[in-house]
Chain A
Amino acid sequence: MTLSEQARNTTPLRKEVPIDKSRGLWITRRDFLSLTGWLAVFAFLGTALLGTIRFFFPRVLFEASPVFKAGFPDEYALGEVSSKYLKSKQVWIVREEEGFYALSAVCTHLGCTPRWLETENKFKCPCHGSGFHLSGINFEGPAPRPLERIKIMLNENGELVVDKSVKFLFERDEWGKPGSFLKV
């Protein structure tokens, strides 16, 4: 008798218990317990995983509020590109003849902070050389789209209020929308 024949002839260690189908249960006790056990294990692991993922999204952010007051309109000279809030808020406030608009000072290439070059009348990014017109439209360098405009409005005291959480994108035709330009 070869080894494999021997293996085939040996009786199984555990005797198969015939299942009595006539009792009408759709699942055996063993399968039911096994299934419940596994469900419990995966329910636990899944809940733990979801909780852990949620853990990494904090409820409170210790960051500056996206809304800030930017003084009164008459503090801005006509045609001025104000860098007053560049360092603290990454925003330029531009005073044109007809009113105000706020530009996000985040380069649309890879997120550096461009500079306003007064003599050359353009915004220029020091990282990769992207250039933008006064309006925010890109015209040189790798930036793929214009600078983003930011919501600017007046509060009841007549102060300028800028809300960085609301953006207006030129390529989505949003520069005409209310809030993208403040008529004075």
Chain B
Amino acid sequence: MVTMEKIKRTQLYRSIFRHGYKDTKPNRMHQIVSNVFLHLHPTSVWRHATEIRYTWGMGGITFLLFIVLTVTGVILMFYYRPTAEYAYADMKYLEHDVPFGMFLRNMHRWAAHLMVITVWLHMLRVFLTGSYKPPREFNWVVGVVLLVLTLLLSFTGYLLPWDQLAMWAITVGTNMARATPFLGHEGPFGPELGMKPDNDIRFLLLGGTQVGPPALLRFYVFHCIALPLLAAIFMIVHFWRVRKDGGISRPSEKE
């Protein structure tokens, strides 16, 4: 114990741990405020904010799933190669030979399915409790952007196993892009603006006129880099706004 006290007095220790665990109100606040990860969180939480029957905890669960997906996704990237020759084989390799590969892939897959569901449930809760009303109307819009990003993440991840299901799902999905107004070669005013199969919005998505190796690579980059980055940025704004717009919503009698 004496040694511990001695260590605690060293400059090294105190430069890392600025606060002890002394259970006083100011110290607990300091712990939150002076930590880069925790400081997004308020220093104190209303009792009603922990009422699971009101919030369902869906936003938090969705965020947790996003973290699970980020961690498992990064791990899967160590074995998966996004090329037409290897993608399917690597997926099979992960499933059958890599230690815990099946477990991690399934974790990623189920968490992805679940996240889509919890995002919808979160939206439903916010709608039913009227939490989209001022001053939270801006955050509702941020939430809708996050919903779209979640769906796009789900969609782009669908192609990566490079099996028949993936190919046809993306074929069907991107065929809708043909009919985009102005930007699709089969959409309203598309041909008039010079849109052709090899220069329209679908071509931009696929990197070709059909679902092929360039599409796999593009969807991989969208899935692993672009969309998660965008989602993270919007999530930071979303959480920040929850605090700035008066904290998590509550029943009106507790306002």
Q: Point out residues on A near B: beta carbons under 8 Å.
A: 56-58, 61-63, 110-112, 127, 165
With A61-B198, A63-B212 as known contacts, state yes or no: A112 contacts B207, CB within 8 Å: no
From B103-111, B121-129, B168-176, give the one contacting chain A: B168-176
Give 19 CB contacts A-B under 8 Å.
A56-B204, A57-B199, A57-B203, A57-B204, A58-B207, A61-B198, A61-B208, A62-B208, A62-B212, A62-B213, A62-B214, A63-B209, A63-B212, A110-B172, A110-B175, A110-B176, A112-B168, A127-B172, A165-B197
- Give the docked Cα–Cα distance between A127 and B212 (Å): 20
Shortest C-beta distance, A90 to chain B (Å), equals 9
Shortest C-beta distance, B183 to chain A (Å), equals 12
With A58-B214, A61-B198, A127-B168 as known contacts, state yes or no: A111 contacts B175, CB within 8 Å: yes
Residues of B within 8 A of A58 (CB): 207-208, 214
Shortest C-beta distance, B61 to chain A (Å), equals 33
Residues of B within 8 A of A127 (CB): 168, 172
Query: A61, B209: Cβ atoms under 8 Å?
Result: yes
Residues of A within 8 A of B209 (CB): 61, 63
Q: Point out residues on B near A: beta carbons under 8 Å.
A: 168, 171-172, 175-176, 197-199, 203-204, 207-210, 212-214
Query: A63, B208: Cβ atoms under 8 Å?
Result: yes
- Give the docked Cα–Cα distance between A137 and B204 (Å): 31
5 additional A-B residue pairs with CB within 8 Å, beyond A62-B208, A111-B175, A127-B172: A57-B204, A61-B208, A63-B209, A63-B210, A111-B171
- Give the docked Cα–Cα distance between A165 and B196 (Å): 10
Closest residue of chain A to B198 (Cβ to Cβ) is: A61
User: Which A-B residue pairs are the 5 nearest by beta carbons?
Assistant: A111-B175, A110-B172, A111-B171, A56-B204, A61-B208
Tell which of B171, B199, B208 touches A112, judged by Cβ atoms closer than 8 Å. B171
Residues of A within 8 A of B171 (CB): 111-112
Residues of A within 8 A of B208 (CB): 58, 61-63
Shortest C-beta distance, A3 to chain B (Å), equals 26
Shortest C-beta distance, B213 to chain A (Å), equals 8
Closest residue of chain B to A111 (Cβ to Cβ) is: B175
Closest residue of chain B to A128 (Cβ to Cβ) is: B172
Shortest C-beta distance, A49 to chain B (Å), equals 14
Residues of B within 8 A of A110 (CB): 172, 175-176
Shortest C-beta distance, A132 to chain B (Å), equals 17
Residues of A within 8 A of B204 (CB): 56-57
Residues of B within 8 A of A63 (CB): 208-210, 212
Shortest C-beta distance, A169 to chain B (Å), equals 10
Shortest C-beta distance, B197 to chain A (Å), equals 8
- Give the docked Cα–Cα distance between A118 and B210 (Å): 28
Residues of A within 8 A of B176 (CB): 110
Shortest C-beta distance, B93 to chain A (Å), equals 26
Residues of B within 8 A of A56 (CB): 204, 207
